[in-house]
A and B are shown apart, each in its own frame.
Chain A
Amino acid sequence: MREAWFIGADTHTVLGRSLADNIAALSTPPAPQQIELRFGGQTIVIPYLILADQPLEDIERRLYQVLYAVIGQALDEAAKSGMTAAQRRRMGLFLGTSSADVSVSEARFLRELETSPDATALIGSNSISNLARHLRHHFGLGGPDYSFNTACTASANALMSAVDMVSSGDLDHALVVGVELCNVITATGFQGLGLFASQTMQPFDQDRNGLILGEGCSALVISASAPKAEGQLGRFHLRGSANLCDTYSMSAANPDGSTVAAVMNQALARAGLEASQLGAIKTHGTASLHNDESEMAGMRQVFDTLPPVCALKPYIGHTLGACGLNELLLFCGAAQAGFLPGTPGIASPERADLGVSLNQSRLPLAPGHFMLNFFGFGGNNTSLILSNTE
């Protein structure tokens, strides 16, 4: 198996327009905005962590503007790392998303309904892969495209397959993209499930009261060739990974922790590591009691002594299908800068109600091996082991 290097990356979240801006902002979780969404004669106001510098306007073009900028930046960095134009033309595209271009379809349908009550929904785009094809054409990518739609694990699963294809020699380069932007279906769906918190997400905290949706878009270029110069993610690579189905419930992992532990153990085994060798854990941390209980129970089964534990959703919200890549880049970027993010006041030793507290402030982090966990609706559990050392 070949090495799969991370040679170009960029991200855009509420924290900022670049990976560097995001890493710099990992000190105090931001408060969500209250945004208005209109649909079918109704208006709702919900908390949302909207992209920085990207107002909710011109929805039919906004998605593409965000994607073009983020992917373009990641490709530029990859080019500086040695990827040639010919290699770029052959690279595969691995898109992980829950909503793909739904925001665009919604805006178009709403516009058409204003002039014709007989307008037909989902005319312009009705396949998740349409977005991947659009991006391939825009960036002149001639390689294969795969669109992964496995709820909150989508972009983590896209990364797994991309790394496997590069490592096994099927592809020399892969572009992994995770994107999730504000849309009415997602917002009203989660509101209907009663899952919204009113303020910051507080996973593993006694005052948890649900999630805040966040917008996010990330891109990562993976190469079989070592970069000419060390990039933003240094020597980080995916050392091991696992994805397993959990049939306990459509919307929550098994609360006994068994299925969560199984996917963590499989990822560790594939990484060739013992749990005791990990330097930190990034939790999924959705701040619902069921999910927090399942995740904590799973960690307790795998680890005799837990390493430092962090959560990133308090910073960027739950970016659903994109959270795999968004949180991976934030975690790796922070670790590359030498620290583990803290979440001040959230699940502190005094406030953690499941017996494990979150890291409270920036903690120095040496190169090592790290576990990042993601769990999704439809019983989809994914665990990634990232390393920036041998």
Chain B
Amino acid sequence: MWIRALGDYSDTVDTDELPALRQLVREALGAPVRRIGRFIQLALIGAGRCMGEQALPAQTAVYLGSGRGDLDVTLEVVNPLFREGLPPKPLSFVNTVSNATNFYIAKHFGLAGRSNFVCNRFFAFEAALELAMQDIRLGYTDSVLVGSVDLVTASLHQHRARLELPPEHPVAEGSHWLWLVGGAQPEDAVAEVQLVRQFDDLRALLGHLHALNLSSERSWLLPGNFVDAASIAEIQTTTGLTPVHLDAREPGYYDSRAGGAISAFLSQPDGDTLLHINRETDGERFCLMQVRRISRVS
């Protein structure tokens, strides 16, 4: 399956004054969108940057993944309710449904295809991409806008406590999107998603990687947020691939950072194939995203 466009937003948040997003929404979409919270703003910025001036087919599906969902709007409801007895404002309550974000994206791009929101703590982006690819494989659609969003909430002290991060650990928020299509390779395809698959354990993943027999010079082995050093060392030993370590502290922690891996790979010139590997920290499962760069001959 083919990636025709990508777009991202990610930024470190290092003060309790969260970055203003309204102007970025306007720049990404060419018009303001009113009465939406930060989570939806982030989604629109990423999706808008992904598509630019391009139009999507009306039957395009929207698949959104997240590790935590819209914590911002949930806290906007929870704190006044339980501290002061103030019932939720109607718009805030309606926006607590996670697929409210899909609604705004579909409305902006004029879409009437499938709409799904899936949550997974460790494979947030990967799960959305996995389900989107399944839809294309089964012939339900041939065009999907796939993304992931996770945000920061103030105060940072409380946000880190919720995410069980140490004090001062860098935190960030991110929105990563790609336009995925099926069928024959489009002329403007920038990459091919060859595989997104979960494996029961490290042994199963190693078996798959070993069989690929990839060139160490032309492959990018990129460890995800949650994969441990020992597993990466074992993968390195088995495959001969050298892991590429993006600075783990940049831009900071958010669950769905894997969503930015494909852009990071394509934005630099080296390597034909991305192997992004993630794992769950409270279980045995691993997830592999395998993406092939499509080079242009000028």
Q: Which A residues have a C-beta under 8 Å from some C-beta of B?
A: 39-42, 90, 98, 106, 109-110, 113, 117, 120-123, 126-130, 132-133, 136-137, 142-151, 157, 161, 164-165, 168, 170, 184-185, 188-193, 242-247, 250-251, 259, 262, 270, 376-380
Tell me the complex Cα distance, A109–B87, Å: 16
- Bin the interface of chain B by size: 35 or more
Any chain A CB within 8 A of the CB of B102? yes
Chain A residues, Cβ within 8 Å of B34: none
The residue in chain A whose Cβ has the minimal distance to the Cβ of B157 is A120
Q: Assess whether B227 is interfacial by the CB under 8 Å rule.
A: no
Quick one: which of B71, B93, B98, B198 contacts A193, CB cutoff 8 A? B93
The closest CB in chain B to the CB of A124 belongs to B162
Could you say which of A113, A190, A262 contacts B112, with CB atoms under 8 Å apart?
A262
Q: Are B119 and A168 in contact (CB under 8 A)?
A: no
Tell me if B203 counts as interface (CB < 8 A to partner A): no
Q: How far is the CA of A148 from the CA of B75 in the complex (A)?
A: 20
Chain B residue at minimal CB-CB distance from A92: B198
Q: Are B86 and A40 in contact (CB under 8 A)?
A: yes
Interface contact A122-B111, CB-CB below 8 Å: no
Query: Which residues of the partner chain B approach A109 to less than 8 Å between Cβ atoms?
Result: 78, 82
Q: Beyond the given A121-B79, A244-B113, please list 20 additional residue pairs across the A-B interface where CB-CB is below 8 A.
A: A39-B82, A41-B85, A106-B82, A113-B83, A126-B68, A127-B255, A128-B98, A142-B200, A142-B283, A144-B285, A147-B119, A148-B117, A164-B134, A185-B77, A192-B87, A192-B90, A243-B116, A250-B103, A377-B97, A378-B99
Q: Is B264 an interface residue (CB 8 A)?
A: no
- Whether A188 lies near B112 (C-beta < 8 A) is no
Contacts A40-B82, A121-B78 given; indicate if A380 touches B121 (C-beta within 8 A): no
User: A149 and B99: CB pair below 8 A?
Assistant: yes
Given A165-B134, A245-B106, A129:B67 Cβ within 8 A: yes
Q: Hey, which chain B residues are within 8 Å of A157, CB to CB? A: 116
Residues of B within 8 A of A (CB): 62, 67-69, 71, 74-75, 77-90, 93-100, 102-103, 106-107, 110-121, 123, 127, 131, 134-135, 137-138, 140, 158, 161-162, 198, 200, 255, 282-285
Question: Is there contact, CB below 8 Å, between B82 and A378?
Answer: no
B106 to A, closest residue via Cβ: A245
CB-CB nearest in chain B for A167: B138
| B119 contact set on A, CB distance < 8 A | 127-129, 146-149
Give the residues in chain A near B77, CB-CB below 8 Å. 185, 189
- Candidates A184, A191, A379; contact of B115 at CB < 8 Å: A379
Q: Please give, as numbers and ranges, the residues of chain A lying within 8 Å of B113 by CB-CB distance.
A: 244-245
Cβ of B99: which chain A residues have Cβ within 8 Å of it? 149-151, 376-380
Pick 6 A–B contacts, CB within 8 A, sort by A: A146-B118, A147-B120, A193-B90, A250-B94, A262-B112, A377-B97
* CB-based contact A149/B97 at 8 Å: yes
Q: A113 to B82: give the CA distance in the assembly, Å.
A: 8
Contact, CB under 8 Å: A148 / B116: yes
- Cβ contact within 8 Å between A170 and B134: yes
Instruction: Given A127-B119, A150-B98, A376-B97, decide whether A247 and B158 contact each other with a Cβ distance below 8 A.
Output: no
Which residue in chain B gives the minimum CB-CB distance to A249? B103
B282 and A137: CB pair below 8 A?
yes
**Which residues of chain A have C-beta atoms less than 8 A from B282's C-beta?**
133, 137
Could you tell me if A110 and B82 are in contact, using CB atoms closer than 8 angstroms? yes
State A243–B140 Cα separation when bound (angstroms). Answer: 10
